[in-house]
Structure 1
Amino acid sequence: MAMTMSTKLRVHIRWMIRRDMTEVLDIERLSFEFPWLEEDFIRSLRQRNCIGMVAEQGDRVVGFMIYELHKTRLHLLNFAVAPNVRRRAVGDQMIRKLVGKLSSQRRTKITLEVRETNLDAQLFFRQSGFVAVDVLRDYYDDSPEDAYLMQLTHETKSHSMMDGGYRRLAG
């Protein structure tokens, strides 16, 4: 389903800073049944290989992503868009930013896990060019749910980024 330009919300994607945490935590709580706590964000972001970015529209944060840098891949740990701006291409713009960090010489893929019950996230990432490559049994500590390991490789990124309109809910 293609999105018209009038519904697309243009955002600025930048590094996450400490003062973004209140808005990020609000989006997190509204997006997930088992949300990360502030300590989870801090613990992740203190790691040398972990990066946080936010999507900003005007002076408010409307989305965020946390990812790890590994030798040959990027690993998306957390990704969400504020409920009031979903399906307006915010998630698409964040994924495009992340995909832009891939190269054929170094980091060639992006990986992530998504809950088996989070169909909206599965569909969003699939429409963004990710494919499910494995099922991770009893993956989560907070529930007996399985997860799908999904990945996008550098070779498939140009094909997956051709359509500008994607369905999005928090992943």
Structure 2
Amino acid sequence: MASITRFKPQHLGQVCEIENSSFSEPFSADYFEQLAEKYPETFLISEKESRVLGYIVAETYRNKAHILSIAVRDDCRRKRIGSGLLDALIERLRLKEVKEVFLEVRESNVAARSLYEKAGFKLSGRIKGYYGKDDAVLYHLKL
């Protein structure tokens, strides 16, 4: 069974590996290190036997949170890793008295959109050309 814990420096290589295989324009290792320093309570990983299965990271400002990235290893998808990470993050955000969570996602990313909608996120807008040729859709969740 996987456990969800806070990101630690030893997870960086595996997080970057997942990020690089999941996104065409991945975040850098330096950026993840900065996020870990600035938002240690909202950078979570799902891990089983020292293998990082997925991660989620959000920035917080006052009573709002912005989910910056969530990704799961290819061979671990469709096994509730992503929903477990999202649920754990939302619980931590509630404890921090965050009132609203928002994110943007590629319009064509049906799997991620389904994950967010099942978690109660509502579609709130669109940004044309956010991902180059692709549009982003915006989601928000009131806590």
Aligned to 1:162: none
Residue in 1 that maps onto 2:59: 68
Report the secondary structure of 1:44's partner residue: helix
- CA distance in 1 between counterparts of 2:96 and 2:41 reads 21
Alpha-carbon offset, residue 105 of structure 1: 9.1
Give, in whole Å, the separation in 2 of the partners of 1:62 and 1:48. Answer: 20
1:108-119 equivalence runs, <5 A: 108-119=99-110
Give the % identical residues: 26
Aligned counterpart, 1:6: none
Q: Is the 8 A contact 2:6 2:40 kept in 1?
A: no
The aligned counterpart of 1:163 is none
Query: Aligned pair in 2 of structure 1 residues 100, 151: CA closer, same or farther (>3 Å)?
Result: same
Q: Which amino acid aligns with 1:128?
A: A
- Structure number with larger C-alpha Rg: 1
**What residue ranges of structure 2 are gaps of 5+ in the alignment?**
none
Please give the alpha-carbon distance, in whole angstroms, between the structure 2 residues aligned to 1:65 and 1:48.
Answer: 11
Residue type at the aligned position of 1:29: N
- Given the superposition, is the C-alpha separation of residues 50 and 137 from structure 1 closer, same or farther in structure 2, using an over 3 Å criterion? farther
Could you list the per-position Cα deviations for residues 82-128 of structure 1 after superposition, in whole angstroms to 9, with x for gaps in the alignment?
11111111111111111212449931121111012212211121122
1:147 corresponds in structure 2 to: 136
Q: How does 1:99-138 map to 2 (within 5 A)?
A: 99-103=90-94, 106-138=97-129
Q: State the SS of the aligned residue for 1:137.
A: strand
| Displacement after TM superposition at 1:78 (Å) | 0.6
Q: Are 2:7 and 2:40, in contact at CA under 8 Å, matched by a contact in 1?
A: no
Structure 2: how far apart are the matches of 1:49 and 1:59? Answer: 19
Higher relative CO (Cα under 8 Å, sequence separation at least 6) belongs to: 1
Q: TM-score, normalised by structure 1?
A: 0.74
Query: Partner letter of residue 117 of structure 1?
Result: S
**2:27 matched to which residue of 1?**
36
Tell me, yes or no, if the aligned pair for 1:129 and 1:152 is still in contact at 8 Å: yes
1:165 — aligned with what?
none
Q: Which has the higher helix share?
A: 2
